[in-house]
Structures are given as C-alpha cells and as structure tokens.
Amino acid sequence: MRIKNVSLALAGTAVMTTLAVTPASATTNLPSPSITGVLAVQKQAMANGAPGALTRIDFGASSYRIASGKADTAAGTAMDADRRFRVGSVSKSFTTVVLMQLVAEGRVDLDAPANDYLPKPLPDDRITVRHLLSHRSGLWDFTNDMFYHTVPGFEAVRNKVFSFQELIDLSTAHQPTVVPGATYSYSNTNFVVLGQLIEHITGMPMATHYEQRIFQPLGLRNTSYVHPRTTITGSYARGYLRDDDTTLPLVDSTEQTVSWAQSAGAVISNSADLNRFFAAVVSGKLVPQPQLQEMLSMVPVNVDGTQFYGLGLRGRALSCGVKVYGHTGTMQGYYTYAFTSADGKRSMTSMANTSNNGTVNAVLAGTLEAAFCGVDPTKSTKVARSGGEAFTEDIAPNVVRD
C-alpha cells in the first residue's frame, strides 16, 4: 500500500487529507468521494455558526480525513478529523446492537410487551420491545420539557445524575403521542427504557455491555461510555451550544454528565471508530443475520420518502440512488452524521461542533452526498437543500424552533 499526503485548500481553509491508495477492486462500486464537496459543506456550516467541522471517509484501505475551523475557540486549536466528541443519538445504534444480541441469545422477544422485562411497568402494556426500538411506542419525549428553553434547560441538568426510572417518570406524566405501533414518533424515552430493560434483565450496567459486546470486539479504542463522569479524555473537540436568542454568544457545553440521555445518547467516540462500528453492523459482524434484517427493515419517516427508520438505525436515500445506513446525533454542542453503504465498504462520519442550529444540521447532511455520490452538494441541482425554516432535532423533537 502506498501512502501520500495531499494538501488541499478551499476559500482560505487549509486541510491536510491523508489518502491511503489501494486497488480499486478492494473498494465498493461508488463514485469517488468529492473532497472539494466536503470542504464546501464544512465552509458553509462554519459560515452559519459552527466553530469547526470534521469528516472522515473510509473505503477499503483508503481514508480521507478532512477538517476545518476550530476544535477549541478559546485556545484557538485547529479542528482535525481524529478528535473525539459526544455522538448523541448515534448511541441508539450501540444500544440496539446490545439489545439485538440479547434477542439472538433468546433472552428478549421483540414482540413481547416491554413490561415483561422492566422493574416498573409502563402505563400501556401494549408497548412492545419492537415499538421502543422503532420509535412507535407513543411515549412522550421528556426532553421536550427539559430543553424547551435550550440553554437554561441544559444548565439545569448539566451536572445532574438521573436514574432511568426518574427519566421514564418524566415521560409517563404526559399522555402518549400515538397509539403503540400506530406510527413513527421519535422519542428519547424509548431508548432510556431500553437501557433500563437491558440492565434489569442482565444485572449488568450499560457501560459493561458496550465494552464487552462492542468496544472490545471491534477494537474501538476511542469510544467510551463514562456516564456520569463529565469529561472527555484524550484529543477531543469542544462543543458549543447556540442559545435560542441567537444574538447571545455560544455556550461551551463540553462538560456534562449526559445523565439525561444515558443509553439514548451518552456515548463518546471519534470518526474512525464510528465508521468501523457501522461497517461492522451492516456486515453482520455484531448481530446475527436474522436480527440484522430486523434492524434493516425500514419505513419512510419524512414526506419525500428519502429518510427511513428501522430498529435503532436510520436510512437515507441519496441523490445518486445510493441508500446508506447509520444514525444522526445531536448532543448539546455537537451534530453528527455517521453512515455506511449497504455492503459496509464505504463509511463516513461528519461532525460540526455546535447545535440548536437547524441550518448547520441541514448543511452538514451534504457531506453524505459528497462522500457517497461524489458531488459538491452546495452546487448540485439534484440535491435537495434546506435551511432557514423551522426545524426539530433529536433533542426535544416536538419543539419547533426558528
């Protein structure tokens, strides 16, 4: 294998991309990634308020690492593509792998009532384990209340430690949003319940399951679950949360317990590890084929039918006809897109270190088009682009912001 370093620049943004050259036969049958397209997206994300952004694309033995802007605005530290960050709802896919392994072991039945496995029953016995994994339980998302006011809500829970049951009780104090099984309704509560379920039936904490079932087998050396510790170790990007009053400065939201999310969003990782994880998921290295097919059985969840949800996995249909699988993540100060091709041979992770900014979130999705379709989404007329309209997120998904 031959290694060469390629230095690229776009509109004053310098980036070092390491490219490991490998024979074409070892790569998936997709267009070459557009590095200028990734850089254009990162530039656009920063123009709309992100301090920095990173992207890593892996296929075969090839790796593109692209980064722009700042990982730490106070210190002036440049972003690089190997930094660790809080992955937010990408954690849901990790939790799903643990749960589906338990299904494969015969310890959980997807279509059994979740109450069969919980220490305290949910109000509706019709809610199954499958409903939780597919966001069809109807359980109210407690983050709608917790983060209705973004920064005050965050500061109120930044250092708190919750039990699973405390969070579930915040949810069940509300009426359900839909009848169980009726329709997709994204709720962080679902994966908090799954965390409690896993711990209750196994007698082991989520941290142990992640470590023994995923991190160690895949050699994910930059991935951790440290709840309720507040720090990120090693080389990491700081996160910056935008206030609802956009005239106010960004809030450094890096240190927090993430106890409000736990099994729904508290994993820390980096781009290389996330790429390896999702490639392993779709390749059947973590979950047996029958359970993997359940995860990949998806239904559309948006109006134009380009976004899908299965069991703890998202699907995206891109402009070039390619469908990719993975998950998005929102954590205070971080947006993440981590997806892989259907064969697991090309994977991409992108992160921008801000949140509560729908334009940045929408723009960052363009790195999927650049990575898998080889286009510059900031110029392509085939790529649907959004921004400036009202939006919702993985956090407080029923709260519409401008």
Residues annotated as catalytic (active site), given as ranges: 89
What is the C-alpha to C-alpha distance for residues 280 and 342, in angstroms, rounded to an integer? 11
- Which residue in this structure is represented by tokens 């966001």? 135
| Token duo for residue 356 | 């509560």
What is the C-alpha to C-alpha distance for residues 242 and 122, in angstroms, rounded to an integer? 35
220 within 8 A of 214, measured Cβ to Cβ? yes
132 within 8 A of 114, measured Cβ to Cβ? yes
